[in-house]
Every structure is written in C-alpha cells, then in structure tokens.
Amino acid sequence: MTSQTRALQFVQSYLKILEDLAASDDALAPFVDVLRSVDETPGDNLTGELDHPLIPLLEDALAAAEGPQELIEAIIDLAGEGGFQQVYEGEGINATQADYMVGKQIVGPKGRLFNQKLRSGIFFLAPNFEYPMHNHAGLEIYYV
C-alpha cells in the first residue's frame, strides 16, 4: 500500500471516529467538516530523521497503541517515513516544554496530504509529561 493511500486511510479512519462522536457532541462538527474536505492533493510531506531523545521511544509506543486497527496500521506505516519535527508553537508552550513533544503532519501543508485549514497527524509526548494548557488561533482536538 502506498503512503498516499495510507494517509487517506488515516483520514477516513479518523473521520469515522469523529463522525461517531459528533452524533452526541455538536462541537465536533467543524472538525468533521474539514476532514471531509481532505482529498488526494499532495503536501510537502516532510521526511528525514529528527535527532531528538523521543524518537527512540516512538517504536515501542506505536507497538502498544490501541484503537481501530485501520487507523493504527496507517499511523505505524506513516511514522516509519520519518518527518517528525519538534513541536514548538502556541502561546503558553516554552522551549523547555517543547523538548517533551514531537509531531508529524499527515494532513496539512507539510503533510502527506495537503490541506490549508487542517493540521492532523501524530503527536507524541514524553512519558509522564503533562501537555500544558495553551491557546492557538485555530481549533484543536486530540484523539488519544
């Protein structure tokens, strides 16, 4: 299966989860709408290895991941491409806290699939790290 197909599988699996949850939570409607707009348009698809202390922990974390099988398979395959970046965006996150977070866009300008309105992908936190409350200009949601 190609990486492009895996990225579309990621989107469809994530969309199914959010659609199910949105049946009882109207606040999810904007996320569902933008995920439905994702198509096969390729993004910049950053690849390459990040020299970061969290990267060696990623393989074990992915092996222990639970959730819909199709979503997990897509995430594992796409994580294998590399392209993780240190996360340091948003008010309320300082550089020290950013050392405990890495992420990879699957959908977005730097993702496998391009979308200007959405950044969706893998967000990996160090063990026992509490993600700080902060603000963004855009909406934010996590599926854990």
pLDDT in tens, 26-50: 999 999 999 999 999 999 888 888 9
Q: Can you read off the two tokens belonging to residue 108?
A: 């977005």
For residue range 5-34, list pLDDT tens digits in order.
Answer: 999 999 999 999 999 999 999 999 999 999
Is residue 108 a contact partner of residue 114, using CB atoms and an 8 Å limit?
Answer: yes
CB atoms under 10 Å from CB of 114, counted, come to 19
Is residue 108 a contact partner of residue 89, using CB atoms and an 8 Å limit?
Answer: no
CB atoms under 10 Å from CB of 122, counted, come to 20
Is residue 132 a contact partner of residue 87, using CB atoms and an 8 Å limit?
Answer: no
For residue range 65-116, list pLDDT tens digits in order.
Answer: 999 999 999 999 999 999 999 876 555 667 777 788 899 999 999 899 999 9
Q: What's the pLDDT score for residue 63?
A: 94
Q: What's the pLDDT score for residue 48?
A: 85
